[in-house]
Amino acid sequence: MVTSEYNHGYPAALKTAIDSVKHEWRAKPVGFVSYGGLSGGLRAVEQLRQVVVEVHMVPVRESVSFHRVKHAFAADGTTRDGAAIDSAQRMLGQLGWWATTIRAGGDIAPYPG
């Protein structure tokens, strides 16, 4: 999920999207990419972690954050933000691990939620 942050919160449209789709979220891993001003949307992500658990998603530990987002990307869309690049690699690794593990678990027993 990609989110901006306004006044320490995530956008209402994202909440509506989570609320509108129900069973499709179940037993799915989710990673967060946030952007914003000085805080880079980190508080929005912390709020989202609470919400996605309620629809039976599995938030991974690592997230990617771009503070001062207007300065974070070159004209060709690349970034030199080493922390973000490192976090993205870790997050994608964790997403893959959880996706594989949850799928294998579903072969043993259906998700009980």
Distance CA 34, CA 41 (A): 5
**Do residues 72 and 45 make contact, with C-beta atoms less than 8 angstroms apart?**
no
Question: Out of 39, 47, 79, 87, which residue is the one contacting ligand FMN (CB under 6 A)?
Answer: 39
**Do residues 22 and 53 make contact, with C-beta atoms less than 8 angstroms apart?**
no
- By CB under 6 A, tell whether 40 contacts ligand FMN: yes
The stretch among 38-46, 54-62, 88-96, 103-111 that binds ligand FMN (CB under 6 A) is 38-46
The stretch among 3-11, 21-29, 75-83, 95-103 that binds ligand FMN (CB under 6 A) is 3-11
Q: Residue 57 CB: number of other CB atoms within 10 A?
A: 19
**Do residues 73 and 57 make contact, with C-beta atoms less than 8 angstroms apart?**
no
First to last CA, the chain: 22
- By CB under 6 A, tell whether 47 contacts ligand FMN: no
Tokens of 113: 């939620």
Question: Out of 2, 19, 37, 53, which residue is the one contacting ligand FMN (CB under 6 A)?
Answer: 37
Please identify, using beta-carbon distances, which residue of 33 and 102 lies nearer to ligand FMN.
33
**Which residues here bind ligand FMN, judged by CB under 6 A?**
4-8, 36-37, 39-41, 69
